[in-house]
Amino acid sequence: MSGPGSVLWGVGCYDDGARRVPWEISHEEIQRAMGAAKTELEQLGIGAGSRVLFCSMLSEAGHFWPLMIGAMLAGAQQSCADANAGEATRVAMFTRLIDFDAVFGVTPALLDGLDELGVTYAEVFGRVRIVGARPGAYERLVEAGLAPHHFVLAGPAVALAREPGGPARADTREWRFDVDGDVVCVTSLRPRATTFERARTAVRGEIVDGGIVPSAWKEQ
C-alpha cells in the first residue's frame, strides 16, 4: 500500500534496551520486507489454507505489517490481537474457534493474561503448529512442554527461527547482527529512511550461524 506523494510509510518504534526509539520507515523498505516475509513464511510451510495469528502492539506495525502482507501474499489468512495481558481473552477465543497454523509474537504479558484467565498454555497453543514466542515467553512455553520458535524483535529487525530452539534469523540482505558483550546489535545493509550501525537492542543473547539465540529477557 503506497500513499500518494509520501516517502515515509510511517514512524514506528523499537526498544534499544534503555528506551523506546522512534523509527522512520519508508514505503520502499516496507515493500522489500513484504517480499522477504512471504519467502520466509513459505519456507515455514505457510501458504494457501494456512491461518496465522499476529500478536503485536500498534507501535510495532513497522515490524508486523510486512509479515501480515507476506502471509497474505503466501495465500494465508490472518488475524490480529494486541500482545498484552488484556488481550489474552481474545487470543484464547481465536485459538478456540479457529485452527491456526502459526501464532507469531507471543509475549510474557500475554502469558500473564492467560495465567489470570486460568487457561493453560497447552489449551491455547497446543494445536498450533508454529508458536513464535518472544524472549521471556519462549522459556515459559518450553517449561509448559511446548516447542516454540524464537521470535525476536531485535531493534528494527524481525528475526524468526526456522525450527523450535533454532536461532532467530532475519533477512541477511537487510540486516546483520553482532553482539556487544551479550547485547545484540543490529546493522542495516541497504538504504533506509533510518540507518542503523551496530545499534544496540533490548535483546541479549549470542549470534549462532548469523541468527539470534536469546539468552535472557529484560523486563521493560
Partner 1 sequence: MNLPPPDSPYFSPEETMPRERLEELQLELLLDLLPYAYEHAPVIREAWDAAGVTPREIKTLDDFRERVPFVDKDALRRFRDDRGDPFGGLCAIPPAELTAINSTSGTTGDPTLVPEKWGAGGTPAVITRDFWGMGVRPGDHVALVLFTFRGPIYGLFQGLGTVPVLFDFDPSEMARFCELSRRYRPTALYNFGSVLVHAVRDACERFGIDPVDVFSSYKGVVFAGEPLGPRARALAQEWGVQLFEHTSVGDVTAAFECTMHDGLHFWEDTAFVECVEPDGRTPVADGERGELVATTLFNRTAPLVRYRSDDIVRVTRRPCGCGRTHARMWPIGRKGDEVVVQGRSVLPVDLWAAVESIDACAMGLFQVVRSSRETDVLRLRVGYASAWEGKLDVVADEVRGAVEGATGLVPEVELVPDARLLRLGPPHKIPRVARR
The site for partner 1, by CB under 8 A, has a size of: 45
Q: Which of 145, 153, 146, 108 is nearest to 130 (CA)?
A: 146
Site residues for partner 1, 22-61, by CB under 8 A, read 22, 48-49, 51, 54, 56-59, 61
Q: Which residues contact 17 (CB under 8 A, 6 or more apart)?
A: 183, 200, 201, 202, 203, 218
Determine the number of helices (DSSP H) and then strands (DSSP E) in the chain. 6, 13
Q: Tell me whether residue 100 or residue 177 sits nearer to partner 1 (CB atom).
A: 100
Of the candidates 90, 129, 162, 192, which one interacts with partner 1 according to CB under 8 A? 90
Minimum Å distance from CB 185 to partner 1? Answer: 23
Taking the chain, what is the end-to-end CA distance rounded to the nearest angstrom? Answer: 32
Span interacting with partner 1, options 92-100, 124-132, 143-151, 183-191, rule CB under 8 A:
92-100
C-alpha to C-alpha distance for 3 and 38, rounded to whole angstroms: 22
Phi/psi at 65 (5° precision) = -60, -45
Nearer to partner 1, 4 or 181 (CB): 4
Residue among 5 and 181 whose Cβ is closer to partner 1: 5
125: helix, coil or strand? helix
| Residues lying near partner 1 in the complex (CB under 8 A) | 1-6, 8-13, 20, 22, 48-49, 51, 54, 56-59, 61-62, 64-65, 68, 72, 77-82, 84-87, 89-90, 93-94, 97-98, 113
